[in-house]
A and B are shown apart, each in its own frame.
Chain A
Amino acid sequence: MSAQPDEGRTASDAELLLEVEAVEAAYGEIHALRGIDLAVRRGQIVTLLGANGAGKTTTLKTISGLVRALSGRIRLAGRDITGLKAHEIARLGLVHVPEGRHILRGLTVEENLELGAFTVRDAATRRRRLREVYEQFPILGERRGQDGSLLSGGEQQMLAIGRALMQEPQILLLDEPSMGLAPKLVTETMGIIRRLNEGGTTILLVEQNARLALQLADYGYVLENGEIRLENSAEALRADRSIVEAYMGSG
């Protein structure tokens, strides 16, 4: 890691919840991650920025176990999770909401949500969480019997997040939650993320829209060609002209 930068406005000495150390990953010949180091403390929102193809999605997939790390270490709350299977990692409370939302087509909104709580044995707990999600996203309650893949983009994003909440995550990995949404819905999505964080969920957020992400986040990393090019508090990154020019065109 680079020299000790400013650690952001909150949680600077909270427990390290997620630690990624020198992680490399590849798709066949394509060396997508060339040694990633990053850390997320409990209670923080940390954002991962970078151009298309920089390796943001691959970083999240490697953390959640969908892509195997070739080398390096990943720890969740101090426990080494490198090499665990994706479903085992999910059961530890690290929940990844993938790029493109991945609503299960042909299944109703409610079935999608209930599958989110697949690992919860107790039916009463499942029902309680379902109620909480419907309270938080009333539109999902109204559409509970409808095919989840037929919802609008914004509703699907809520469903994807709601489904993740059914797992009661310690940490949420969000991959471009604002992708394809109208500006008003982007703002709403950002509001939801802030609320979740205020409710105690730690968040690692990948965003194309760097301006928005840095408004929410405590801390940010900038990825380039599978490497962390720089990292700093969100405040400092917002003030950095070169970042603004390189990654905020779309904001």
Chain B
Amino acid sequence: MSLTDILMQQLVNGLVLGSFYALVALGYTMIFGVIKLLNFAHGDVYMVGGFVGFGVLSAVGGTLGADWGGIAVAMFLSMIAMGCLGVVIERVAYHPMLAAPRLSILITALAVSLVLQNSVLTLTDGQITAFRTDLGFGGLEIGHVFITYNQMVLVGTAALLMIALETFVSRTQYGRAMRAVSIDKDMCRLMGIDVAKVIAITFFIGSALAAAAGTMAGAYYGSIWYFMGFLIGLKAFTAAVIGGIGSIPGAMAGGLILGLLEAFGTQIPGIGSEWKDVFSFSILILVLVFKPTGLFGKSETERM
């Protein structure tokens, strides 16, 4: 394999990884937009989404098959379930804290994260659960680069979800309202916008996207466990910061950039894959130092 082939192969790997990061980063950034909260529980919503997807697939896999058809159903139902969970989390945990000092709600988010993790820890005894599917290993060989059908479906699904989100945000009244709420809540109220409802919709969509990523990641990597949301939560946060927290295109770009950087980073001599996370968080630090507003961020964005 030539260097170009290796780099092309890493490009594919980076896109897959980046798709997961982007889907999770979107929820992070949207929720930050509307209530200025770094929702540390977001990675755990991804994790629970993976478990719900697994549960649904176990139930329907027998009749629908555990290939992409069955996984699509599992993903869809998991998205709905996690969307609702997101709305409940906001109502129960965050809504009462909105007027409190910022630190209180941040701690609340940590508490929600612990509740979700420990619930699943208890249910699974902390064991890794095998996410069994009937996905094959077929694919296309382009030059010397091998792309599996699974990778294509996964990146394609992520792209479709992001296009749908972008359309919602730029074309619909509630999508515009979501942007408006992140700018000026009182003005929104004066225009007749039910701000609480917009916040609920934002949590629904953000959590549903995390659930989609969680289910696909479980199916793709073949295993899920209660702690799997932790690292991706931090990575998604990094991706959101790279793109400029609060910015939806920023989260998409930031996720892809981070995925690609990690994939290519592992090819640099001396940085093996075991250094991947160090590499990512070094990038986070560099962005925070040299361009704290991120690629798409505006300078007036509030900072924690």
Q: Are A98's CB and B176's CB within 8 A?
A: no
Separation in Å of the B244 CB from the closest CB of chain A? Answer: 12
B183→A115 contact, CB < 8 A: no
Q: Does A65 contact B (CB under 8 A)?
A: yes
Q: A106-B298, A115-B176, A115-B177 are in contact. Are A90 and B183 (CB under 8 A)?
A: no
Question: Known contacts A115-B176, A118-B173: does B191 contact A105 (CB below 8 Å)?
Answer: no
In chain B, what residue has the closest Cβ to A123? B173
B interface residues, tally (CB under 8 Å): 19
- B77 contacts the other chain (Cβ, under 8 Å)? no
Question: What is the bound-complex CA distance between A106 and B177, given in angstroms?
Answer: 13
A131 contacts the other chain (Cβ, under 8 Å)? no
Q: Are the C-beta atoms of B193 and A87 separated by less than 8 Å?
A: yes
Q: Are A98 and B187 in contact (CB under 8 A)?
A: yes
B193 proximity list for chain A (CB < 8 A): 87, 115, 118
Name A86-107 residues within 8 Å CB distance of B: 86-87, 90-91, 95-98, 102, 104-107
B190 touching A118, Cβ below 8 Å: no
Task: Flag B171-185 by CB within 8 Å of A: 1 or 0 each.
Answer: 001001101100110
Q: Are A104 and B183 in contact (CB under 8 A)?
A: yes
For chain B residues 158-177, which have a beta carbon within 8 Å of chain A?
Answer: 173, 176-177
Which residues of B sit under 8 angstroms from A65, Cβ to Cβ? Answer: 189
A160 — nearest CB in chain B belongs to which residue?
B187
Q: How far is the CA of A86 from the CA of B180 in the complex (A)?
A: 16
What residue in chain A is nearest B190 (Cβ atoms)? A96
Is A163 an interface residue, CB under 8 A from the partner? Answer: yes
The answer on a CB contact under 8 Å between B173 and A114 is yes
Residue B138, interface by CB 8 Å:
no
Q: Is A163 in contact with B191, judged by CB distance below 8 angstroms?
A: yes
Contact B184 A86 (CB under 8 A): no
CB A20 to nearest CB in B, in angstroms, measures: 18
Q: Is the CB of B192 within 8 A of A167?
A: yes
Contact flags A45-70 to B (C-beta < 8 A → 1, else 0): 00000000000000000001110000
Cα distance A65–B177 in the bound complex, in angstroms: 19
Q: Which residues of chain B are within 8 angstroms of A187 by Cβ–Cβ distance?
A: none
B191: A residues at CB distance < 8 A: 87, 90, 115-116, 118-119, 163, 167
Do B179 and A107 have beta carbons less than 8 Å apart?
yes
Q: Inside 8 A of A116's CB, which chain B residues have their CB?
A: 191
Say yes or no: A64-B183 contact (C-beta < 8 A), given A106-B298, A118-B173.
no
Query: CB within 8 A of A104: which of B180, B192, B300?
Result: B180
Q: How many A-B residue pairs have CB under 8 A?
A: 67
Q: Which residues of A contact B177 (CB under 8 A)?
A: 115, 118
Residues A108-127 near B (CB distance < 8 A)? 111, 114-116, 118-119
Chain B, Cβ-Cβ closest to A92 = B192
CB closest residue in chain A, given B187:
A102
A64→B186 CA distance, assembly (Å): 11
Minimum CB–CB distance for B179 against chain A, Å: 7
A154-211 residues with Cβ-Cβ distance < 8 A to B are: 163, 167
Contacts of A119 in B (CB 8 A): 191-192
User: Which residues of chain A come closer than 8 Å to B173, judged between CB atoms?
Assistant: 114-115, 118
Cβ of B187 and Cβ of A104 under 8 Å apart?
A: yes
CB-nearest residue of chain B to A114: B176
> Is B194 interfacial (CB-CB < 8 Å)?
yes
Q: Which residue of B lies closest to A166 (CB)?
A: B191
Residue contact B189 to A66, C-beta cutoff 8 Å: yes
**Interface pair B180/A115, CB less than 8 Å apart:** yes
Closest beta carbon of chain B to A203's beta carbon, Å: 16
- Is there an interface contact between A98 and B186, defined as CB atoms closer than 8 Å? yes
18 A-B residue contacts at CB 8 Å? A64-B190, A85-B189, A86-B190, A90-B190, A90-B192, A91-B192, A95-B190, A102-B186, A104-B183, A104-B184, A106-B298, A107-B180, A114-B173, A115-B173, A115-B176, A116-B191, A167-B191, A167-B192
B residues in contact (CB < 8 Å) with A: 173, 176-177, 179-180, 183-184, 186-195, 298, 300
A sample of 8 more A-B contacts (CB under 8 A), given A66-B189, A98-B190, is A87-B188, A90-B192, A98-B186, A102-B187, A104-B187, A115-B191, A115-B193, A167-B191
Residues of chain A whose beta carbon lies under 8 Å from any beta carbon of chain B: 64-66, 85-87, 90-91, 95-98, 102, 104-107, 111, 114-116, 118-119, 163, 167
